[in-house]
Structure 1
Amino acid sequence: MIEKREDQRHRVFKGGTITFENSGIPCTVRNMSASGAAIDLDAPVMLPQSFTLSIERDDFVRHCRTVWRNDKRVGLAFVP
């Protein structure tokens, strides 16, 4: 498989929240880099074109867009 990521991702295991339209969906952040992350959802969910990923314990908040999806795992790109 050809690597298309700009930055190397590092494995993590952190609880996060995806927020959009006044809704919060819990997720698990599995890996991340300066430009994106991969998250696991408890169940398949329709996500809007853009949303916010928050990791409360790290005081981390980024606007995101979906890059790829595989069942309950979603690849995100951080939007400047």
Structure 2
Amino acid sequence: MANPVTPPQQEFPEPQREHRPRVLKGGTIITGIQNSEVSCTVRNQHASGAELKIPLEARVPDQFLLYVPLDGVAYRCAVRWRRSNRLGVRFTGTEPKPKLHYG
């Protein structure tokens, strides 16, 4: 019985992470639940996402609106990971400044 021939394995390069410039911006997570808002700090940010620092006791849903006054825009976000008081989010779109927000 002949041994089956195995094709050579292809080596795929490890995907490179997008450079995430460190920033220190204030932000507000708007959950949409009774217009609930959670203050946060944007720790690093790039075109497709960010890392947020939130209060330990904060309850943040998997999808929310992040308003960053310094940018003058609100980002629609989807949570990619959670660690203690940090969230990694992916931006899924943008919206103008929320009308009811004070900033």
TM-score by shorter chain over 0.5: yes
Query: The residue matched to 1:57 in structure 2 has which SS?
Result: coil
Any conservation in 2 of the 1:44–1:71 contact (CA below 8 Å)? no
Larger radius of gyration: 2
After TM superposition, the structure 1 stretch with the greater mean CA deviation from structure 2, 8-17 or 42-51, is 42-51
Aligned-pair CA distance for 1:3: 6.2
Q: Does 1:12 align with 2:23?
A: yes
Any conservation in 2 of the 1:15–1:27 contact (CA below 8 Å)? yes
Equivalent of residue 59 in structure 1, options 69, 72, 84: 72
Q: Per chain length, whose mean CA-contact separation is higher, i.e. which structure has more relative contact order (CA < 8 Å, sep 6+)?
A: 1
Aligned identity (percent) is: 38
TM-score with structure 1 setting the length: 0.86
Aligned-pair CA distance for 1:47: 1.9
Query: The residue matched to 1:76 in structure 2 has which SS?
Result: strand
Give the match for residue 39 of structure 1. 52
Following the alignment from structure 2 to structure 1, what is the Cα–Cα distance between the partners of residues 37 and 27? 10
Name the aligned partner's letter for residue 13 of structure 1.
L
C-alpha RMSD of the superposition: 1.7
Segments of structure 1 that go 5 or more residues without pairing to the other structure are none
- Structure ranking higher in strand proportion: 1
Aligned-pair CA distance for 1:19: 0.3
After TM superposition, the structure 1 stretch with the greater mean CA deviation from structure 2, 50-59 or 68-77, is 50-59
Query: The residue matched to 2:47 in structure 1 has which SS?
Result: coil
Aligned-pair CA distance for 1:46: 2.7
